[in-house]
């Protein structure tokens, strides 16, 4: 190519670049959103996941999409996140959808159906088993779009001021228990209480409540429950794989450029992996510290577990008769759960049980 032709071609290339660059910039508008969470800042894994997602979103978009994260109480109380997102007070929230079961019991499926799925199953059902599509179909009527953002893994059953030996010990028990589980436990005589994180310790200390569940060892240790109740029960059958949810005002979600929607989904998934992995590292260490501080680990007695299981399934059958959204989600989840456990008991359970037996010998 002659020098004159080369320079001419180069000039065309530079001109093309000058045209393309502004077009790319225009497709990435500068946005500043607010996210309100259901968690206090002291819960650095739950609240930290929302912060992590916001940080990664800013990094990937070269700070063109910024999300400011607020703790519970800074904009709205922790149990009003759905309302704040729904009415546009904020663009997005990080919460547990089962907090809103009073609006509709179908909300419980976004976090964890009692006696539902474990951590891996919950992720699989929502992302590959049709659960997420059904949830968003349901939540559209509440003006929000959502996706799982993290998993606490199977939670503990909570802190009790007295031992639970029989089903009768549940009668009259004032128990802070999250979400839908309270409706099940009511059938066994429990008096459920729904309190935000910051209100649990003083209520337990003063004896206003007799027992309280929160998450698991790492977060429970931060809230100091071992100082006011020594019996630490497991498992938290109401949260076999509890997923916090990212909720976004549906109008704001639909306005986002597709590239930003993709960034939000990717960063939410990354933050979710970060959360679950952190709990898997921190919980074993925390439970040892709690036992050293005086916690007495107790398994719920088998008759208590079976009574709760029976009450749960009776309640589900009743709700499904009058709530089409609940029935649709329940049918999907139970079909997946049956198939999943048939597989897991073949390889996963056998491997885990062998490993546990070997660890106890060393």
Looking at residues 312-321, what average pLDDT do you find? 98
How far is Cα 156 from Cα 246, in angstroms, rounded to an integer? Answer: 23
Span of 33-47, 131-145, 186-200, 320-334 with lowest mean pLDDT: 186-200
- The answer to whether residue 230 scores a pLDDT higher than 60 is yes
Residue 235: is the preceding peptide bond cis (ω within 30°)? Answer: yes
Helix H or strand E encompassing 294: none
- The answer to whether residue 316 scores a pLDDT higher than 70 is yes
- Integer distance in angstroms from the first to the last C-alpha of the chain? 76
- The answer to whether residue 13 scores a pLDDT higher than 60 is no
DSSP 27: T
More confident residue, 9 or 244: 244
The first and second tokens of residue 301, run together, are 């007695």
How far is Cα 279 from Cα 45, in angstroms, rounded to an integer? Answer: 8
DSSP 300: P
Asked whether the beta carbons of 219 and 158 are under 8 A apart, the reply is no
3-state secondary structure labels for all residues of 146-192: EEECCCCCCCCCEEECCCCCCHHHHCCCEEECCCCHHHHHHCCCCEE
Q: What is the pLDDT of residue 16?
A: 40
pLDDT, one tens digit per residue, over 24-61 is 445 689 999 999 999 999 899 999 999 999 999 999 99
pTM: 0.89
Asked whether the beta carbons of 231 and 110 are under 8 A apart, the reply is no
pLDDT, one tens digit per residue, over 70-121 is 999 999 999 999 999 999 999 999 999 999 999 999 999 999 999 999 999 9
- The answer to whether residue 5 scores a pLDDT higher than 70 is no
Helix H or strand E encompassing 296: strand 296-299
Q: What is the pLDDT of residue 18?
A: 41
Q: What is the pLDDT of residue 196?
A: 74
Per-position b or e across 25-54, b if 16+ CB within 10 A of its CB: eeeeeebebbbbbbbbeebbbbbbbbbbbb
Mean pLDDT of the chain: 92
pLDDT, one tens digit per residue, over 254-296 is 999 999 999 999 999 999 999 999 999 999 999 999 999 999 9
Give the pairing of strands 231-234 and 158-160: antiparallel
Q: What is the pLDDT of residue 152?
A: 95
Q: What is the pLDDT of residue 17?
A: 39
Q: What is the pLDDT of residue 15?
A: 41
- The answer to whether residue 136 scores a pLDDT higher than 80 is yes
Looking at residues 321-330, what average pLDDT do you find? 98
Span of 162-166, 196-200, 355-359 with lowest mean pLDDT: 196-200
Q: 203 phi and psi, to 5 degrees?
A: -65, -40
Which strands sit side by side in the sheet containing 191-193, from one edge to the other?
A: 191-193, 174-176, 211-212, 158-160, 231-234, 296-299
pLDDT, one tens digit per residue, over 149-176 is 999 999 999 999 999 999 999 999 999 9
> How many angstroms from the chain centroid is the CA of residue 126?
12
Question: Is the sign of the CA dihedral 74, 77, 80, 82 positive or negative?
Answer: positive
Percent of the chain whose predicted confidence (pLDDT) is above 90: 88
- The answer to whether residue 303 scores a pLDDT higher than 50 is yes
Which strands sit side by side in the sheet containing 92-95, from one edge to the other?
A: 65-70, 31-37, 92-95, 245-249, 144-148
How far is Cα 52 from Cα 92, in angstroms, rounded to an integer? Answer: 15
């Amino acid at each position: 190519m002659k020098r004159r032709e080369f320079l001419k071609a180069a000039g065309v290339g530079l001109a093309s670049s000058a045209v393309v660059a502004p077009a790319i910039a225009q497709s990435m508008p500068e946005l500043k959103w607010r996210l309100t969470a259901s968690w206090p800042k002291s819960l650095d894994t739950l609240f930290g996941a929302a912060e992590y997602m916001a940080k990664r979103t800013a990094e990937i978009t070269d700070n063109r999409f910024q999300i400011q994260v607020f703790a519970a109480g800074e904009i709205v109380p922790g149990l009003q996140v759905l309302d704040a997102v729904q009415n546009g007070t904020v663009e997005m929230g990080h919460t547990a959808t089962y907090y809103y079961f009073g609006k509709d019991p179908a909300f419980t499926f976004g976090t964890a159906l009692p006696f539902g799925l474990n951590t891996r199953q919950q992720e699989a059902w929502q992302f590959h088993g049709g659960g997420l599509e059904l949830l968003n179909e349901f939540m559209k009527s509440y003006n929000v779009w959502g996706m799982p953002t993290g998993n606490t893994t199977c939670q503990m059953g909570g802190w009790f001021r007295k031992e639970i030996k029989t089903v009768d010990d549940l009668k009259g028990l004032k128990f802070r228990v999250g979400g839908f589980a309270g409706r099940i436990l009511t059938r066994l005589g429990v008096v459920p209480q729904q309190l935000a994180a910051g209100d649990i310790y003083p209520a337990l200390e003063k004896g206003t409540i007799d027992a309280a569940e929160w998450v698991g060892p790492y977060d429970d240790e931060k809230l100091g429950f071992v100082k006011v109740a020594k019996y630490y029960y497991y498992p938290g059958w109401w949260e076999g794989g509890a997923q916090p949810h990212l909720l976004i005002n549906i109008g704001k979600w639909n306005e986002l450029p597709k590239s930003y929607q993709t960034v939000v989904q990717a960063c939410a998934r990354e933050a979710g992996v970060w959360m679950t992995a952190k709990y898997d590292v921190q919980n074993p260490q925390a439970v040892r510290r709690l036992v050293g501080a005086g916690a007495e680990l107790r398994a719920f007695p088998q008759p208590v577990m079976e009574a709760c299981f029976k009450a749960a399934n009776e309640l589900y059958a009743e709700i499904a008769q009058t709530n089409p959204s609940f029935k649709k989600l329940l049918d999907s989840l139970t079909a997946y759960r049956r198939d999943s456990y048939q597989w897991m008991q073949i390889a996963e359970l056998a491997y885990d049980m062998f490993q546990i037996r070997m660890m106890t010998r060393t």
